[in-house]
C-alpha cells in the first residue's frame, strides 16, 4: 500500500513542496536568531553556527526548489544594458584607434546582430516557459522526500490513489 524508499526502505515520505515551504520559514527564523546571538555576546559561536546552518539550507533548497520560469524582462533589460556597454566600449576603442569613417554603419550592424541574439534567447525562454516549465513543475509537485534519508521519489500520476493517501498521511 505504501511506497518504499529505494535507498533505505522507509515508507515515510513528505511532499517536496511542503519541505520547501518549511525550509523557507526555517531560513527566516535562522536570520532572526543570528541578530539575537550577536547581541548576546556569543558573536563568533553564533555566527559560525548560523552560517553553517544557512549553507546546508541553501544546498537543500537548491535540491528541492521548484523550477522557475525564465524572465523575459531580465533578458530584455540584460540585453539592452549589454548592448549599451559594448557600444560604449566600441565607441571608445574607435575614438582611440580611428579605424575609419564607416564606424556608424558597423555599429548599426552590430546592433542588429545583437538584437538577433536577444530575440533567439527570448524564443528559447518562451519554449522553456511554455513547454519544459509546466512539465517540470508538475513533476516537482508530485515529488516526495524520504523522511529518513532525503531521497526524492516521483509519483507517475497525480491521480494515483497511493499518492493521495500519502499526502493525507504526512499532513496528519
Q: Of the ranges 10-18, 21-29, 128-136, 156-164, which one interacts with Zn ion (CB under 5 A)?
A: 10-18
- Say how many CA atoms lie within 13 Å of 1 toward its Cβ: 4
| Residue 2 is a binding residue for Zn ion (CB under 5 A) | no
| Residue (8 or 120) nearer to Zn ion, CB | 8
Q: How far is the CB of 144 from Zn ion (least distance, A)?
A: 10
Q: How far is CA 11 from CA 7, 23, 44, 145, 149, in A?
A: 11, 22, 40, 10, 11
**Nearest by Cα to 147 from 61, 30, 18:** 18
Q: Where on the phi/psi map is residue 98: left (φ > 0), alpha (ψ -120 to 50), or beta? A: left
| Residue 136 is a binding residue for Zn ion (CB under 5 A) | no
To 10 degrees, the CA torsion angle through 82, 83, 84, 85?
A: 50
Q: How far is the CB of 22 from Zn ion (least distance, A)?
A: 18
| Residue (46 or 143) nearer to Zn ion, CB | 143
| Residue (50 or 146) nearer to Zn ion, CB | 146
Question: Are residues 17 and 170 in contact, defined by beta-carbon separation less than 8 angstroms?
Answer: no
| Residue 166 is a binding residue for Zn ion (CB under 5 A) | no
Q: How many residues does the chain have?
A: 172
| Residue 10 is a binding residue for Zn ion (CB under 5 A) | yes
The site for Zn ion, by CB under 5 A, has a size of: 8
| Residue 16 is a binding residue for Zn ion (CB under 5 A) | no
| Residue 148 is a binding residue for Zn ion (CB under 5 A) | yes
User: Bridge partners of 13?
Assistant: 146
Query: Which of 2, 7, 106, 164 touches Zn ion by CB under 5 A?
Result: 7
| Residue 50 is a binding residue for Zn ion (CB under 5 A) | no
| Residue 5 is a binding residue for Zn ion (CB under 5 A) | yes
165 CB contacts (<8 Å, ≥6 apart)? 1
In the complex, which residues of this chain contact Zn ion (CB under 5 A)? 5, 7-8, 10, 146, 148-149, 151
Amino acid at each position: 500500500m505504501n511506497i518504499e524508499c529505494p535507498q533505505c526502505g522507509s515508507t515515510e515520505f513528505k511532499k517536496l513542496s511542503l519541505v520547501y515551504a518549511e525550509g523557507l520559514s526555517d531560513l527566516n527564523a535562522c536570520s532572526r536568531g543570528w541578530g539575537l546571538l550577536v547581541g548576546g555576546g556569543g558573536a563568533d559561536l553564533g555566527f559560525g553556527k548560523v552560517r553553517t546552518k544557512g549553507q546546508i539550507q541553501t544546498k537543500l533548497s537548491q535540491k528541492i526548489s521548484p523550477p522557475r520560469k525564465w524572465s523575459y524582462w531580465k533578458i530584455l533589460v540584460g540585453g539592452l544594458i549589454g548592448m549599451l556597454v559594448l557600444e560604449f566600449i566600441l565607441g571608445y576603442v574607435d575614438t582611440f584607434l580611428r579605424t575609419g569613417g564607416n564606424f556608424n554603419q558597423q555599429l548599426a550592424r552590430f546592433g542588429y546582430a545583437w538584437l538577433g541574439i536577444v530575440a533567439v534567447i527570448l524564443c528559447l525562454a518562451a519554449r522553456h516557459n511554455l513547454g519544459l516549465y509546466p512539465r517540470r513543475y508538475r513533476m516537482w509537485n508530485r515529488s516526495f522526500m524520504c523522511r529518513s534519508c532525503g531521497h526524492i521519489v516521483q509519483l507517475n500520476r497525480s491521480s494515483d490513489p497511493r499518492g493521495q493517501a500519502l499526502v493525507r498521511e504526512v499532513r496528519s
